[in-house]
Amino acid sequence: MVASLQKSRHYMTALLSSTIILLLLYLQNSLLVFTYRSYGSVSERSTCACSICVADRENSNWFSERYNPDIPILLNSTNSVLNANVSRWWEELQYSQNAGNFTEVANQLFPLFPNKEHYSDAGPDRCRTCAVVGNSGNLLGSRYGPLIDYHDFVMRINKGPIEGYEKDVGSKTTHRIMYPESAIDLDNSTHLVLLPFKILDMQWLISAFTTENITETYMKVPSTVNANKDKVMIIHPEFIRYVYDNWAEGHGRYPSTGFLTLIFALHICDEVNVFGFGATSDGFWHHYFEEIFTSYEYGVHGGKFENETIIRLQQENKILIHRGWR
């Protein structure tokens, strides 16, 4: 009887020991798996060194459905052949039936302007901060100037002036997004970023740095522009179509300059802060440098939908909108 009890105790002790060992092995394995998965998850999400990176798509299904990291952003000689769908859509934007051949004009660009990949140095050790500065009257009295200038990239749109408004809009410009009808002179450190809504826009760019013979499109345009030709960039027509399809969702005839600039920033920046977009606090839409009231609901752009999309981007923690004080 005693031998039987001792045998039973030995059996129970062995069973308990085995159970404890198995449990410890299970916990150890679970911890390793958890650590590995956590590490992998952080690694996948850490596309930059910012606290929140724009390109992280895991945290927003809405964003990931629209954001395409592989879309060509800037035109160069290796991507200057348009696919048929983009070509047809873009040609429909032309107001002139004798606008010329896109490929022939594109081939003339790159002996003059940089022919390389840009912004390919993104990585987990970088945090490129961008200020996208619109032209809304809500900038007046904001005193955002020093905050805007603190960013690595400061993108300005069309003719938005700096002189006399530095306290509110800053004094730094790294990128000026424009087209011929909105062109202004730039300093030597600023990128001229052309938005080509038509082939004539590309022809004007070539002319502005060479023959200076194009002085009119659908309106008078400057025959030349002071800018550093080594910093010229041309937005790819496929990128414009992508913004129209994925972000504007077909509203309007084509996206507005401000909206295109914002989506451009989402693709080359790690953190995006937005200034000078939207109405003033009393609901008026006008530029900070003029008192002419406008409305985003009319014209060739889907302004109302664009505005809703910009608000949604903030809700999805992809941008931070600074609304000013007016």
The reply, when asked if residue 242 is annotated as ligand binding, is: no
Query: φ, ψ for residue 194 (rounded to 5)?
Result: -85, 130
Report the DSSP pairing between strands 293-294 and 233-234.
unpaired
134 in a known ligand binding site: no
DSSP conformational letter for 161: -
Q: Which of 56-60, 134-138, 206-210, 320-324 has the lowest mean pLDDT?
A: 56-60
94 is in an annotated binding site: yes
User: Among 107, 148, 197, 206, which Cα is nearest to 324's?
Assistant: 148
Q: What's the confidence (pLDDT) of residue 93?
A: 83
Contact of 52 with 271, CB cutoff 8 Å:
yes
Question: In sequence order, what are the beta bridge partners of 233?
Answer: 193
Predicted TM-score of the model (pTM): 0.83
d(CA 113, CA 144): 33
Question: 301 among the known binding-site residues?
Answer: yes
Backbone angles phi, psi at 235, to 5 degrees: -65, 135
Among 258, 255, 251, 240, which Cα is nearest to 71's?
240
Catalytic residue among 175, 236, 267, 301: 301
- In angstroms, rounded to a whole number, what is the distance separating the alpha carbons of residues 201 and 151? 30
Q: What is the pLDDT of residue 43?
A: 38
Catalytic residue among 144, 254, 288, 322: 254
* pLDDT computed for residue 82 by the predictor: 92
Confirm or deny that 299 is annotated as ligand binding.
no
- The answer to whether 158 is annotated as binding is yes
pLDDT confidence of residue 42: 36
SS3 content of the chain, % helix, strand, coil (to 5): 40, 10, 50
Q: Which residue has the higher pLDDT, 185 or 292?
A: 185
The secondary structure element, H or E, covering residue 19 is: helix 2-45
Confidence class for position 101, pLDDT limits 50, 70, 90: confident
How confident is the model over 14-29, as pLDDT tens digits? 444 444 433 333 333 3
Three-class SS state of 125: coil
Instruction: Using pLDDT thresholds of 50, 70 and 90, give the confidence band for residue 31.
Output: very low
> Is residue 254 part of an annotated ligand binding site?
yes
254 has catalytic annotation: yes
191 is in an annotated binding site: no
Rounded-to-integer distance, Cα 203 and Cα 212, Å: 10
pLDDT greater than 60 at residue 298: no
